[in-house]
Amino acid sequence: MNPSGTKLIARIEDATLAFGESVILKNCSLDIVDGAITCIIGLSGAGKSTILRLLDGLLLPSAGHVYVHGRDICHMTEDQRNRVRQKISLSFQFSALLDSLTVGENVALPLREHTRLSEAEIRQTVMDSLDSVGLAGAYDSLPAELSGGMLKRAGFARAIVTRPELVLYDEPTTGLDPIVTNLITDTILKLRAKLNSSAVVISHDLQSIFAMADYVAMLFEGAIIAYDTADRIRNSSNPIVAQFLQGSEIGPIPI
């Protein structure tokens, strides 16, 4: 699956994960190219968010491997996984900001937990992070005072404040209007460039996906059935991919 001549920051290899009788992933493999934006598409409930949690080490597969920088995190101690996780950030679908804290205090949480920066250094780093997502004036605001799009970007600011090497975005454009969706898409692109990092994005918004993705993977029935550059996926002859992209009722995907 590894695109020729590319360096990988992470790889899921033959991963299987089940909760009781429910099999979420089965022999699932996916390469995450260093410095690229990889978007994962698929039906609702297919297990896309589960892949993010495998990459972040929040879940471990019952079989298979998850590699980050070539090291299998499945066979690490919890302390070792935590150290790896400090270079990976997950931006949650609904931002997950604490209502009782200001935006600045929310964004500062990872710095307080994982660094020994002074209060002045924390404030400056948080301000820089907020400025990167266009929220320089929101430091003292409460989450309830922000719009949906601003909340998403505040979540981004918290995700990037530690300057991670890999940022995982879970449904960043869900519930947003087209104008704000474009703003969020542009923000993800700008953050990738600013951090010189890699990103994995879960989304159902195809216009947004093809505006930002270097690589696209399709998850279907627990496995990645198609993976290629965005242009090649857009023109894929795979009938499942084609039906999904066209939003057609006719094809091999059961309705």
Superfamily of domain 1-87+168-255: P-loop containing nucleotide triphosphate hydrolases (3.40.50.300)
Residues with Cβ within 8 Å of 135's Cβ and at least 6 positions away in sequence, in order, are 103, 150, 153, 154, 157
Q: Which has the closest alpha carbon to 1: 244, 227, 250, 200?
A: 227
Residues with Cβ within 8 Å of 94's Cβ and at least 6 positions away in sequence, in order, are none
Burial class (CB in 10 A: 0-12, 13-18, 19+), 206: middle
Assess contact for 97 and 135: CB atoms under 8 A.
Answer: no
Domain positions in the chain are 1-87+168-255, 94-163
What is the average pLDDT across 179-190? 94
115-158 residue pLDDT tens: 888 999 999 999 999 999 999 999 999 999 999 899 999 999 99
Please determine, for residue 192, whether its predicted confidence score (pLDDT) is greater than 80: yes
Please determine, for residue 234, whether its predicted confidence score (pLDDT) is greater than 90: yes
pLDDT at 35: 96
Mean pLDDT of the chain: 93
What is the average pLDDT across 58-76? 94
Please determine, for residue 195, whether its predicted confidence score (pLDDT) is greater than 70: yes
Q: Which amino acid is at 213?
A: A
Per-residue confidence at 1, pLDDT binned at 50, 70, 90?
Answer: low
Total-model pTM: 0.92
pLDDT at 2: 64
Please determine, for residue 13, whether its predicted confidence score (pLDDT) is greater than 70: yes
